[in-house]
Amino acid sequence: MTTNTSVVRLFAALLAFLVITPTLAQITPERLYYGVGQRVIVNIEVPQGFFGEITVRVYDPIAQEWTHEAPAASGRVDLTSLLPYLWETKPQTVSYAQLELDGTPTGAPLVLQPLVTPNRAKLVDATTMALSEDPRGAVVFEDKRLPALQAQGKSESGLRQVTFSGLRVYVDQEVVMNTSAGDIVFRMRPDAAPNTAYNFLHLTDGGFYTNIIFHRIVAALPNGNPFVIQVGDLSGTGSGGPGYMIDLEDSSLPHDFGVLSMARDSDPDTNGSQVFVALSREGTAFLDGRYTAFAEAVQGAQVIREIAATPVGAEDRPMDPPMLLSCTTRDAPPIQDRLPALSTLQQSPAVQEPDPNEPDR
């Protein structure tokens, strides 16, 4: 009986070790920024007693398929020695470096963000592409404006000059919004809007989003399509911000239910801290390319709907405002363990015509 008990206990301990092994491994950078050609030093931590195969794989964030791989070892490692393509090809888009133990993705991946010249947006006359001061002007990014100007003979080159300076490297994060209605979990999408995503993480880690109200709620547009809930102003007036502004980014993430995007003034480059959560694809599709979507909710659909159902008065201001109590970051799961975005779980009807309302500050 004693022998059997000992065997059971040994088996249970071994099973527990195997179960917790993935949570004890992580790849982390020694610093945030690395200039082109510099050694990108990372630390690879694996569970004590692990003697299996350690691999670093680079994943395309859209396809979620790996494009490069290299064997690695625990301890201090030069990522660019493992993956020389980083400096040889000077990538232009974000990728993820995932630690794998015996072929199993383990721990949060690293975000590898190329530091490149930004693609600036301008307010222009849609016909001539000339700069405009009309707030109703078209928002056009340089990579689309320059070819149009060249075709009109107004620019010698239709190509935007891009300089590659190095990499921003950090552990991929999720953000948890703790609201008075419950929690909403957002997956960050630095692949879609890297600078905007990082700005939001910076504000979150600094405690910016603490005890502030959802100051604007538009449950539905006049045509009936669900629109947005908006938060991020410490003053609660709808005009406040973090004391600085960042440029509009040309995001590849479509607005849809649960997508987190930046609010701004009529000037494209007035993004700061105010954000809105889209309530439907059909109500927010017309914001694509004009507002920067940078994260997507993976949990908290009912919380979003409960906030959206709050009664409002004049100018879409809630009469008893829901609260954003806090925002916190946590390490994201491995690539293959990610939850689907809430938008993919919605059954949306066909997209209708745009509405003139916008989530301006």
Q: State the CATH number of the domain containing residue 193.
A: 2.40.100.10
Q: What are 290-342's pLDDT values in tens digits?
A: 999 999 999 999 999 999 999 999 999 999 999 999 999 999 999 999 999 99
Q: Determine the Cα–Cα distance for residues 214 and 209; give it in Å rounded to an integer.
A: 11
Shared domain for 123 and 258, answered yes or no, is: no
Residues 121-164 pLDDT 10s = 999 998 899 998 888 889 999 999 999 988 888 888 888 899 99
User: Residue 361: which pLDDT band, with cuts at 50, 70 and 90?
Assistant: low
Identify the three-state secondary structure at position 246. Answer: strand
241 lies in the same domain as 227: yes
Q: What percent of the chain has pLDDT over 90?
A: 81
Residue 2 has pLDDT above 50, yes or no: no
* Token representation of residue 247: 């440029």
Domain tally, the chain:
3
The per-residue pLDDT for 351 is 39
pLDDT band at 175 (very low <50, low <70, confident <90, very high): very high
Cβ-based neighbour number of residue 348 at 10 Å: 15
| Count of C-beta atoms within a 10 Å radius of residue 287 | 22
* Cα 272 to Cα 228: distance, rounded to the nearest angstrom: 18
**220 and 141 inside one domain:** no
Query: Is the pLDDT confidence value at 18 over 70?
Result: no
Beta bridge partners of 164: 116
Residue 358 is predicted with a pLDDT of 67
Q: Please list, residue by residue across 150-186, b when 16 or more beta carbons sit within 10 angstroms of its beta carbon and e when fewer do.
A: eeeeeeeeeebeeeeebbbbbbbbbbbbbbebeebbb
Specify the pLDDT at position 21: 43
**Given this model, what pLDDT does residue 352 score?**
41
Per-residue confidence (pLDDT) for residue 181, from 0 to 100? 98
Average pLDDT rounded to a whole number, residues 35-49: 96
Based on its alpha-carbon atoms, the radius of gyration of the chain, rounded to whole angstroms, reads 23
Average pLDDT over residues 190-211: 98
d(CA 92, CA 89): 9
Place of tokens 């809630």: 318
Only one residue has tokens 């590659």, namely 164
Q: What is the DSSP letter of 312?
A: B
For 144, the 3-state DSSP assignment is: helix
Secondary structure letter of residue 342 according to DSSP = G
Same domain (yes/no): 68, 137: no
**How far apart are the C-alpha atoms of 9 and 6, rounded to whole Å?**
5
The pLDDT value recorded for residue 15 is: 45
For residue 320, is it within any domain? Answer: yes
Same domain, 325 and 188: yes
Nearest residue to 244 via CA among 268, 271, 267, 263: 271
Rounded mean pLDDT of 348-358?
Answer: 47
- The model's pLDDT over 94-129, given as tens digits with 9 standing for 90+, comes to 999 999 999 999 999 999 999 999 999 999 998 899
Residue 245 clears pLDDT 90, i.e. is over it: yes
What are 204's two structure tokens?
């979150």
Is there a domain that residue 17 lies in? no
Alpha carbon distances (Å) from 79 to 56, 71, 237, 337: 9, 11, 46, 24
Position 157 in a domain: yes
Range of the domain at 55: 22-114
The CATH number of the domain where 31 resides is what?
Answer: 2.60.40
Whole-model pTM: value is: 0.89
In this structure, what are the phi and psi dihedrals at residue 350, rounded to the nearest 5 degrees? -60, 145
> What is the arithmetic mean of pLDDT over 165-183?
98
Gap between the Cα atoms of 161 and 78, Å rounded: 30
Same domain for 194 and 318? Answer: yes
Per-residue pLDDT for 354 more than 90? no
- Mean pLDDT, to the nearest integer, of 180-193? 98
350 within a domain of the structure (yes/no)? no
Query: CB–CB of 197/294 below 8 Å?
Result: yes
pLDDT score recorded for residue 80: 96
Cβ-Cβ contacts under 8 Å for 239 (sequence gap 6 or more): 233, 361
The single-letter code of the amino acid at 249 is: E
123 with 137: CB under 8 angstroms?
yes
- Report the distance separating Cα 315 and Cα 57, nearest Å: 50
> For residue 1, what pLDDT is reported?
43
Short-list 185, 202, 204, 198, CA closest to 112: 198
- 107 & 156 share domain: no
Show the DSSP H helices in 122-258 as ranges. Answer: 142-151, 194-205
CA dist 246 to 8, 145, 249, 337, Å? Answer: 59, 20, 9, 32
